[in-house]
Amino acid sequence: MTPGRQQSLVRRAGTMAAALATAVIMATPGPAAGAPTPPAPSPTGAASPLPMFAFYYAWFDPSSWDRAKIDYPQLGRYSSDDPQVVRQHIAWARSAGIDGFIVSWKDTPVNDRRLRLLMAVAGQMDFKLALIYQGLDFDRNPLPVSQVAADFATFTAQYAGDPTFFRMGGKPLTIWSGTWAYTHAQVQQVTAAVRDKVLVLNTEKSIEGYARISDVTDGDAYYWSSVNPDTNTGYAAKLEAMGQAIHRDGKYWIAPFAPGFDARLVGGSSTVDRADGRTLRTEYAAALHSSPDVLGLISWNEFSENSYVEPSQRFGTQYLDIVRELRMTPVPQPTSGADSSSDPVSTVGTARANATGARYGQALLLGGFPVLLVVLVTLLGRRRRRHDKRVHIRQIPHVEER
């Protein structure tokens, strides 16, 4: 068994065990939208030991909010240069069991300044960072490969050694967005110079895409924010198949999930209704059941594509509260749901060893919990009575703007 697969199985076992252990105490629904966010617990206090990172964009100036927005942050039309905003973002994220931000970056003076600010605040708050390199320009065209190579070299030399950056297998995590726009030779030209010091995951959208450059990258972080789980019938199976293929190579898999999507104001056409949190719950379940090494939440603050969970004027803290709840409770077996931009994936082999446990989780969330609670209370009462008798006899006391 490869090291990457071993790590995934260990994390998955821990996730299932912790979820079952917390099922009783987490029966109460999360806070209503707009409710105050509770103090931040230690990230290790969450029920799930599986790392969860949210994609984070540090491209905002006050003028950014004048374009392509239908909602605005609770913090107002902020600048990503504001340290108080960064501090509040991290405090909110930690309170919901988010372990770190995957920060969008390429080497410019503004991006460098904002990355250093994030590093400073995250270091003070015991919060982790990873990097997603934006390999496409504003018009979605690939940057020159020489620029990409130079930027990766800059990050590796100037930033990657900082302990704030999250490590897997001893190396800081980086992701290259837009790898599908580059040839195998171009990807190899970039990664060969840095892979001894950092991980470089691709962002391919299919098993075939991943396999094309798997030998020159360290895994896949699929950025799939526009899937509609209500209409895409092969959705969960595709994620699971991708995770299996990547782990067979002993490499890393970051599975995506999002609360919804609407990029019509920036040239898109598809929309995914948030469905009052049901979309987020469904996509989280599908991501988790694909056995990821890291869960990738899309996103913290992508307000132009409307995939954010950051507290906002329209939704309050509703979606951050749901993330918190999901991190602390079992999740249902994902419903089938295919990426309209990709070929369908075979569902062969989708029966998993954890299917029974997943069905129990679904039963808990969909109405079986009250029955289980009665049974547990009865058993605990009997155990307590037996314990009290023993006590009596023995006298023994007993948490880039697009």
33 lies in some domain: yes
Residues spanned by the domain of 249: 3-365
pLDDT at 49: 84
Query: What percentage of residues in the chain have a pLDDT greater than 70?
Result: 70
pLDDT digit string (tens) for 44-68? 344 568 999 999 999 999 999 999 9
The total number of structural domains in the chain stands at 1
Q: Is the pLDDT of residue 73 over 50?
A: yes
Return d(Cα 217, Cα 178) in angstroms, integer: 13
**Strand pairing report for 171-177 and 167-168:** antiparallel
Q: pLDDT by residue (tens digit) across 350-370?
A: 333 333 333 334 433 434 444
Q: What is the DSSP string of 33-78?
A: TTPPPPPPPPGGGSS--S-EEEEE-----GGGGGSS-S--BTT-S-
- Please check whether residue 9 lies inside any domain of the structure: yes
Per-residue pLDDT at 2: 47
Residue 220 lies in a domain: yes
Residues sharing a CB contact under 8 Å with residue 129, sequence separation 6 or more, in sequence order: 100, 101, 102, 103, 118, 119, 122, 164, 165, 166
| 254 inside domain | yes
Find the angle CA(244)-CA(248)-CA(252) to the nearest 5 degrees.
75
Q: What pLDDT, in 10s, does the model give residues 178-236?
A: 999 999 999 999 999 999 999 999 999 999 999 999 999 999 999 999 999 999 989 99
pLDDT tens column, 239-275 = 999 999 999 999 999 999 999 999 999 999 999 999 9
Task: Check pLDDT > 50 for residue 32.
Answer: no
Instruction: Name the β-bridge partners of 133.
Output: 105, 176
Q: Is 351 inside any structural domain?
A: yes
For the residues 313-338, what does the mean pLDDT come to?
A: 80
Indicate the helix (H) or strand (E) that contains 154: helix 145-158
Mean local confidence (pLDDT), 9-13: 46
- Determine the Cα–Cα distance for residues 248 and 220; give it in Å rounded to an integer: 13
CATH of the domain at 84: 3.20.20.80
Q: 360 vs 70, 349, 367, 382, CA distance in Å?
A: 39, 21, 11, 24
Mean pLDDT for the chain?
Answer: 80
Establish if 389 belongs to a structural domain.
no
How far apart are alpha carbons 55 and 104 in whole angstroms?
7
The reply to whether 203 falls in a domain is yes
pLDDT given at position 361: 42
DSSP state of 277: G
Q: By three-state DSSP, how is residue 178 classified?
A: coil
Q: What is the pLDDT of residue 386?
A: 44
Mean pLDDT of 35-48: 39
pLDDT value, residue 177: 98
Q: Does residue 384 form part of some domain?
A: no
Query: Which pLDDT band holds residue 333 (cuts at 50, 70, 90)?
Result: low
Q: Which two tokens stand for residue 274?
A: 């948030």
Range 140-144 average pLDDT: 97
- Token digits for 106? 């390429």
Establish whether the linkage from the previous residue to 299 is cis, with ω within 30° of 0: yes
47 φ, ψ (degrees, to nearest 5): -65, -40
DSSP 249: T
